Amino acid sequence: MLKSATKIFAVLAFVSNVYAQFTSFEDFLSQINSAPQNEKQNIANNFITFAQNTTGIPYTQDDTLACFLYNSGSGSVTVPGDFNGWDPNASYLTNITGTSFYYKQFVFPSDSRLDYKFVVSGNWILDPLNPHQVSGGFGPNSELSMPAYVQPPEILFYPNIPHGTVSTFQFTSTILNNTKTVHVYLPPGYTNLNTYPTFYFQDGTETKNLGKLVNVLDYLISDYQLYPLVVVMVNPTDRMTEYTMNANYSNFLANELVPYIDANYSTSQNPAFRGIAGASLGGLISFYTAFHNPNVFGKAAGQSSSFWWNNQAMINEIQNASTQNVDFYFDAGTFNDGLADNQQMETVLQNKGYTYFFQTWNEGHSWGNWRAHFDEFLVYFFPSIIEVNEKKNSEPQNFTLNQNYPNPFNPSTKIDYDLPKNTKAKLLIFNVKGEKVREFELTASKGFVEWNGTNQEGKLLGSGVYLYTIQGENFSESKKMVLLK
């Protein structure tokens, strides 16, 4: 026991000594450059330990200084990444003579998040000292997060929240003469008794897997930030051809895929409740498709959109045409991400009188950027407080279903309604799983239902989101309410 305690105290003393040994990166450089040659590698090793146990690696200091560190082997070492256009010859690390330690310092905005790799003697590798990685279209990259950057919680999987379902099928396009993989996300509690907005995403499988879109949707819906959506993720067949303002691809989406989705799912056919989104060239084709089909897509979002394509053809087209009934969201990174073209698009949209929202991030052209900001345009377009008040089939002239009040509520709430004379109807209440928990017969042509949060057996139900639906012979309508305890 005494020997074990002695070892523990020795380790603690060593760690304490390492932490006390360095006050800054400049202090480390001063120490290692003035030390005898036979002590330099040990000092370098100690600084690596210090960095790993304080800010992590890359080492950051004073909010804006980032120090890339490499401590293995010999030869040339460079650091290509979002910040230098991924040029393998742009940023060479400095070697401390007589050691395997290399370093390179940069100054970045304090909320930057950047992808990078090392090139060691011509070989591209991940940073062996940095455990933080982000997946991209060409494999994983190492990730630098500056001190003020906030990691997006919504991209993670949470087992204890309600989850939507994803189905995958093959869709053959007559217009394009090819077959595409399509993924469809249905929100928790999906029911044909409700009508849902839809959002269409380009680069379907990458958006689902690299973008973690399903996790994002589940999180935002469970957190009452986002109205439940049906989300359609479509794979390209020939990305460069289809996404570069291709009229045939746009027609496929608007005139083949959308009608199929509307026929097979309980989706709104109002363009105000249908959006389209994509990143890079996917953003370009999303803007193009909505602009040319405003009767189908009333909202469009682009991330790092390739508005540079064909001498800014999309910008020029919007500038020279009449204003369409489409709302836009778009964003761009400040590191080699087409920011100037996106800013020019903003100027054109503003001059043409469009409703739009444009943002910039201190990031680059990567899935790490895009997945962290899906929530920005999803919630912007479809916040949880919207109402999708479409009636199935034909509706009576005097039929209305009002929002419950109070909402959220505890312990009870009232739901007002109006019915045509001599009409029989029911008010049904469902939980987020789509299970019916309560049913009321409606006999009066004008009245209200008071619900005290109990099921048909009189048992109190738990907190959460509930859907209430009024249903008659030729009509139905649904709304959402929140029970809080």
Q: pLDDT (tens digit, 9 = 90+) per residue, 381-394?
A: 998 876 565 544 44
Q: Are 307 and 347 contacting, i.e. CB atoms less than 8 angstroms apart?
A: no
Per the omega criterion (within 30 degrees of 0), is the bond before 162 cis? no
**Structural domain 400-483, CATH architecture:** Sandwich (2.60)
Residue 198, pLDDT score:
98
Structure tokens at 225: 């930030």
Query: What pLDDT is recorded for position 389?
Result: 54
Instruction: Identify the CATH homologous superfamily for domain 153-381.
Output: Alpha/Beta hydrolase fold, catalytic domain (3.40.50.1820)
Mean pLDDT on 1-24: 52
Residue type for 222, please?
S
Contact 59, 28 (CB under 8 A): no
Confidence band of 14 (pLDDT split at 50, 70, 90): very low
**Which value, in Å, is the radius of gyration of the alpha carbons in the chain?**
28
Counting Cα atoms < 13 Å in the Cβ hemisphere of 16 gives 6
Q: Give yes or no for a contact between 468 and 482, defined as CB atoms under 8 angstroms apart.
A: no
The yes-or-no verdict on residue 20 having pLDDT over 60 is no
The H or E element that residue 315 is part of is helix 309-320
336: nearest Cα among 6, 85, 47, 101: 85
pLDDT in tens, 61-78: 999 999 999 999 889 999
Q: What is the pLDDT, as a whole number, of residue 392? A: 45
Q: What is the mean pLDDT of the chain?
A: 91
- How far out from the chain centre does Cα 461 lie? 32
Is pTM beyond 0.85? Reply is no
Rounded-to-integer distance, Cα 101 and Cα 444, Å = 82
Residue with tokens 């139905």: 476
Q: Please check whether the two domains, 19-145 and 153-381, share a CATH topology.
A: no
Give pLDDT tens digits for 274-318. 999 999 999 999 999 999 999 999 999 999 999 999 999 999 999
Contacts of 470 by beta carbon, 8 Å cutoff, 6+ apart: 401, 417, 425, 426, 427, 428, 442, 476, 477
Task: Pick 19 or 455 by higher pLDDT.
Answer: 455
Considering Cα of 461, then 464, then 469, then 470, what sign does the dihedral take? positive
Do residues 273 and 298 make contact, with C-beta atoms less than 8 angstroms apart? yes
Count other Cβ atoms within 10 Å, centred on residue 95: 16
The secondary structure element, H or E, covering residue 371 is helix 367-371
Tokens 């940095």 belong to residue: 130
CA 6 from chain centre, in angstroms, equals 50
* Three-state DSSP state, 131: coil
* Phi, psi of 373, deg, nearest 5: -125, 10
What does the H/E/C string look like for 237-284? CCHHHHCCCCHHHHHHHHHHHHHHHHHHCCECCCHHHEEEEEECHHHH
What number does CATH give the domain 19-145? 2.60.40.10
Q: Left if phi > 0, otherwise alpha if psi is -120 to 50, otherwise beta: which for 24?
A: beta
Phi, psi (rounded to 5 degrees) for 427: -110, 120
Distances (CA, A) of 193 to 119, 187, 327, 435: 56, 13, 28, 12
Query: Do 210 and 195 contact (CB within 8 A), yes or no?
Result: no
Give the number of residues written for the chain: 485
Half-sphere exposure of 365 (CA within 13 A, CB side): 17
SS3 helix, strand, coil % of the chain, rounded to 5? Answer: 30, 30, 40
Rounded-to-integer distance, Cα 229 and Cα 298, Å: 15
What is the C-alpha to C-alpha distance for residues 468 and 480, in angstroms, rounded to an integer? 6
What's the pLDDT tens digit per position in 89-99? Answer: 999 999 999 99
Residue 113, classified by CB atoms within 10 Å of its CB into exposed (0-12), middle (13-18) or buried (19+), is buried
182: β partners: 169, 234
Is residue 415 a contact partner of residue 376, using CB atoms and an 8 Å limit?
A: no
**pLDDT for the residue 401:** 85
- Domains of the chain by residue range: 19-145, 153-381, 400-483
Question: Does position 112 have pLDDT exceeding 90, yes or no?
Answer: yes
pLDDT digits (tens, 9 = 90+) for 138-159: 899 999 999 999 999 999 999 9
Each residue's pLDDT tens digit, 231-282: 999 999 999 999 999 999 999 999 999 999 999 999 999 999 999 999 999 9
* One-letter amino acid of 41: Q
The phi, psi pair for 327, rounded to 5°, reads -100, 140
